[in-house]
Chain A
């Protein structure tokens, strides 16, 4: 398990691994929004939490189709399936590695990019907290979607369509928490719900993904 985690990290960080793809996309979205909205800093402040959350979610989505497809194409997934590691564990570990290489950089970059969107000062802490709570769920749901579409050539589109509705609750509560904090309101309830969704996803999704993968490998 640990070997698989570190291998995935090493693969992501080396040339051609796609590390930074999500981060660059996040940066592009957030940099371009002020240009498209125009010079209205009050409006920017108002939409900043939502835009940051949406950018992070789409950036996460961008790298999902490589999550299992690469291992499928070069045959490593078949070999992993015949190894002592359970498929549930393989999917969970790969989702964890995806979060470390994609979700975590987004969490860390969000406060810096918040400045570009004129985010209210009271919103920074909760924005980072909500992203840190929500992005693990995005990676795990994404791994489930990747397991569903593994073996399909150019499965990225199907993967996005399958995963997007599952992302909605996380987006709603994450963005709501960040918005309430930015407006100086109490954000405890959406944060708790967000954490609850993430915990439920982390508990149940590896089993669903493992079962789906087992069927898809046949």
Chain B
């Protein structure tokens, strides 16, 4: 099943950021969003993930299929690596966390509290969470932040494996992961400033 985004307009705090975004993401495909800081990549990803409503346009084929990974990993410092992962697995109705631990080289850390991991290890745990969701569309916001080269390679392998299983990935990243992916530059979809002025007039 495809994720189809049609003529999507998204905004942050009521201010339009992007407009007219259209793309189709099929099984086994990856789409990389590019654009300068503040260009609306995160807002677009949050809208696709269903965390905020689109200002216009539609997102089709996203219901109960999205695994979202944001800047924050949602880890609990007091729980161990295995407990964190097992929690997310059971929230998504899964039980097997071993493949995720193996894919992100976390097996030696299973009993360590997440609060005592390094930044890169936390990020790896946060990304390992994607594999225990069992969801087929990964929506990733800067997934490689604080990862070293070896961990980026692990992550790229995980994404490749996910795509090979018929999953798809939508990510905002500046690093070339060596994955065959289409690129979408969001700066071409910047919302017209005129709309902002019109919105203000109603309050003046």
**Which A residues form the contact surface with B (CB < 8 A)?**
2-4, 7, 10-11, 14-17, 71, 73-85, 217-218
Residue B183, interface by CB 8 Å: no
Which secondary structure characterizes the binding site on chain B? loop
Chain B's interface size range is 20 to 34
> With A and B bound together, what is the CA distance between A78 and B47 in angstroms?
12
Closest to A16 in B: B78
Of B52, B70, B90, which is within 8 A of A79 by CB?
B70
Max chain A Cβ within 10 angstroms of own Cβ: one of B67, B68, B74: B74
Q: Are A76 and B74 in contact (CB under 8 A)?
A: yes
> With A and B bound together, what is the CA distance between A84 and B50 in angstroms?
12
Closest to B76 in A: A11
**Which B residues form the contact surface with A (CB < 8 A)?**
49-53, 64, 66-79, 83, 86-88, 90-93, 129, 133
A-B contact count (CB 8 A): 75
Q: Are A11 and B49 in contact (CB under 8 A)?
A: no
Of A14, A75, A85, A218, which is within 8 A of B72 by CB?
A75
Q: Are A7 and B93 in contact (CB under 8 A)?
A: no
Min Cβ gap B67→A in Å is 8
Q: Are B50 and A82 in contact (CB under 8 A)?
A: yes
Q: Are A82 and B91 in contact (CB under 8 A)?
A: no
Min Cβ gap A149→B in Å is 18
Of B51, B64, B73, which is within 8 A of A84 by CB?
B64
Of A14, A74, A78, A85, which is within 8 A of B68 by CB?
A78
